[in-house]
Structure formats: C-alpha cells, structure tokens
Amino acid sequence: MADDNEPIRKKGFILNFQTKKLQEIDDKNIINKPRSVECYEKMNILGQGTYGICYRVRDKQTKKEYALKKVKVDKDLFRDGFPISCLREISILKKCNHENIVKLKEVAVGNELQKIYLVMEYCEQDLASLLDNLKKPFTESEVKCIIIQLLRGLEYLHSKYIIHRDIKVSNLLLTDEGCLKIADFGLARTFSVPTKPMTPNLVTLWYRPPELLLGSTTCTTSVDMWAVGCILGELLINKPLLPGTGEISQLDMIVDLLGTPSENIWPGFDQLPACQNFTLKQQPYNNLKAKFPFLSQAGIRLMNFLFMYDPKKRATAEESLSSSYFKEPPLPSDPRFMPSFPHHRNLKSQSSTSSSSSIFASGSKQQQNLNPSRNKFSEMLEGLAKKRKRYE
C-alpha cells in the first residue's frame, strides 16, 4: 500500500488518487519519452568538437539519415543534475524552426544516465572541412548565397532573443541542396533587455569581436555580426581573415586591418577593462580596400558596417540583408544551383561501415579498436580539425 506522504520513487509509476495505489503508467500516456540510441545504426564520425563527437547515423526503422551528437557529460557535473550547457542547447534548438537553423529531431538516451545524444537533421557538409578540401574557391555569387542564408538564420535567432556566440565556419553546415544551417548551440544564450553581464571569453578567437577581446561583459547580438564579417572575408579570400595566435595578436590583426579605435568613434572604449592597463598599437588606416581590391564599393561598405568597432553601430542581420551588395552583380546564386561537393567526411569510412554497428553504449575507444579503417578515418579527421583548430 502506498504511503500518501512518501514521494514516489518507483520509475514509470503514478499514484492513483482514487484508489490511493501505485499504478503502472501505460506507454501510450507517456509523452516525449526519450528513445534509446540503439534505434540508430552508426555509420561514421562527422566531426569531433570540444563538447562531443558527432556521428552520421541511420534510423533502423525508417532508414533515414541523421547526425547524432554525443554530448560530453562529466560524471561529477551530472551529480548536480542535468548539465546546464546541454539543457541550453536542447531548449534553444527546440525553440527554433527556420530553414537556416539545424533541426533537432529528438534527444536519445544510452544505457547509462549520463549518456545523452542529440539527433539532428543530417547535413552533408560543414563549411570548415569544405573550405579545407575545396579545389577552387567559392565564386562571389556563391559567397553571397552562403552569407545571405547565414544572415537569415541570424535574423531569426536575434528576433527570438537568442545570441549564438560561436559563429564560425565549423558550426555552419551545408546540405547537398545548397541550404546553409547554423549548428552548435552549446554556447548560445537567450538575452533580455537590458542585457546582463556574460563571460567575455566565448566566441572562438578568430571570430571574436574587439569588445570581448578588451574585456567587455556585455554580450549582444552584435557579437554574432562581427563573426559574419570574418566569415564573409574568409570566404572571399579563401583563408581565415584574422587568424590570431592569442588575444594580443588577435587585437593586433584587427587594428592592422581596420585602424586603431578611439573614444571618438567608439564611445565607452576608454572605459573597457583591458584599456585600463594596455595600449593598442597605433595604426591610422583602414586597410579593407587594400585587403579586398576586387570588392565593389557596396561590398566594402557592408564589410565596414559589420566591422564597426562600436557594437551599438555594428550592422544588424536585418540591415545587412538589405545591403546593395546582394542586389548588384554578380548576383547571389540560387541555393539549388550551388555546386555539390564530394562527401569528404564519409568517403573513407563508407567501406568500413559495418551493418550492425549498435555500438553507442560500449564506448568509442573500444569501438575504434574493432575497426582499423575507422581508426585511420578518425586520424584523418583529427588532422583536418587540427589544421583549423591550431589557433582556436
């Protein structure tokens, strides 16, 4: 007989108020019960990020392909409940419904409490590995097509009070249909007006705006917009635009490109924490034109707008979308006519795919040892990741 005052400790049971007895919950009455990761067949590793490994998987029932991100959960952290970074990523992804934001299909669970997996729509490419493997750079029309989609995704996020805070090429996915999807919401936050202080060391160094490098704790949507400027530049010159090796070197590179900021153009600059005991190098010129000699006036104008030192004056996603750069020739490609690329991330592993790889629960190390060609593939991937992650 159940004791009314005792909390229910038995999983899958509910207290019937009429009979005062515990009764089993019928499966049909359980909504959002997480499915087991065993419902998916593992195909190959897609990427290995700071917070988890991402696999290409196939739903055993529907045979549809998905990307499955294994969330790294620290056992000790788990003792205090579900990890907050993971919760944030899930709750933000669930809130989003836009063609330029990666869709979360479901959250699956492993055979242990701390084994959590995000099942997302599968995108054939990520921009980082694509850029590393491209035979010839993107054309300007293709660059415009990519940037417009990135801006649409950000316009949507910012309208929902979400700041991504880690916009970089490895977090931008591309489908074979030429559709760009913003992924990796591990660092994303919702914000309120007025904004609350946030940790400044968030955005990956090469894409980090000057205000965060100088210690500001006000993190606004303009943080994502600086990163758009970096990515626009990177796609146009086919290499990272500001590949600093540390925070000082990052600031130096920014100053070399845009000139030294001052209180005049950026009210509040003198009060930034790092400006109290550190002086930026003196460089009076804006060198954007010299860096992008082939770019039209409208292109330079947009880039300058995205690279405004004062975050309050920096272009918003909406403003950028109405830039004349996107309305003048060469016009943006239609996503459907974007070139298709070899599936670099899957190529090597395809031959090594085993038909019954229900291996999520048994630990990745053990699995890798079972299959030497998968080991090789992982090494190659790691090499690629290292190439880009050198200074991140």
The binding site for ATP consists of 69
Q: Do residues 226 and 207 make contact, with C-beta atoms less than 8 angstroms apart?
A: yes
Q: Does 153 sit near ligand ATP (CB under 6 A)?
A: no
| Identified binder of ligand ATP from the candidate list 120, 131, 223, 280, rule CB under 6 A | 120
| Identified binder of Mg ion from the candidate list 125, 171, 220, 349, rule CB under 5 A | 171
- State the helix-helix crossing angle for 222-237 and 140-159, rounded to 10 degrees: 170
Nearest to Mg ion of 87, 113 (CB atom)? 87
> Which entry of Mg ion, ligand ATP, none binds 314, CB below 5 to 8 A by partner kind?
none
Q: What are phi and psi for residue 122, nearest 5 degrees? A: -90, 130
> Which entry of ligand ATP, Mg ion, none binds 69, CB below 5 to 8 A by partner kind?
ligand ATP
Instruction: Using the Cα atoms of residue 163, residue 166, residue 168 and residue 173 in order, give the sign of their dihedral.
Output: negative
> Which entry of Mg ion, ligand ATP, none binds 67, CB below 5 to 8 A by partner kind?
ligand ATP
**Segments of 290-384 assigned E as strands:** none
| Identified binder of ligand ATP from the candidate list 37, 43, 54, 143, rule CB under 6 A | 54
Q: Does 51 sit near ligand ATP (CB under 6 A)?
A: yes
Q: Do residues 199 and 187 make contact, with C-beta atoms less than 8 angstroms apart?
A: no
Using CB under 6 A, count the residues that bind ligand ATP.
21
| Identified binder of ligand ATP from the candidate list 104, 130, 167, 183, rule CB under 6 A | 183
CA neighbor of 221 nearest in space, from 193, 254, 263:
193
Neighbours of 68 (CB within 10 A): 25
Nearest to ligand ATP of 65, 319 (CB atom)? 65
Segment 24-83, which members bind Mg ion (CB under 5 A)?
A: 49
Q: How far apart are the first and last CA of the chain?
A: 59
Q: Which tokens sit at 173?
A: 């996915």
Would you please indicate which residues are annotated as catalytic (active-site) residues? 166
Nearest to Mg ion of 102, 288 (CB atom)? 102
Residue least distant from Mg ion (Cβ): 184
Q: Does 204 sit near Mg ion (CB under 5 A)?
A: no
Q: Cβ-count burial of 343 within 10 angstroms (0-12 exposed, 13-18 middle, 19+ buried)?
A: middle
Question: How far is it, in rounded angstroms, from Cα 13 to Cα 21?
Answer: 10
Question: How far is it, in rounded angstroms, from Cα 330 to Cα 332?
Answer: 7
Residue least distant from ligand ATP (Cβ): 49
Q: Which tokens sit at 289?
A: 């034109």
Binding mask 280-319 for ligand ATP (x = CB under 6 A): ----------------------------------------
In whole angstroms, what separates CA 168 from the centre of its chain?
A: 7
Amino acid, res. 123: C
Position of tokens 């300007």?
140
Q: Does 126 sit near ligand ATP (CB under 6 A)?
A: yes
Q: For the CB of residue 103, give the shortest distance to Mg ion in the complex, in Å.
A: 16
Residues in contact with ligand ATP by CB under 6 A are: 46-47, 49-52, 54, 67, 69, 102, 120-123, 126, 170-171, 173, 183-184, 186
Contacts with Mg ion by CB under 5 A lie at: 49, 171, 184
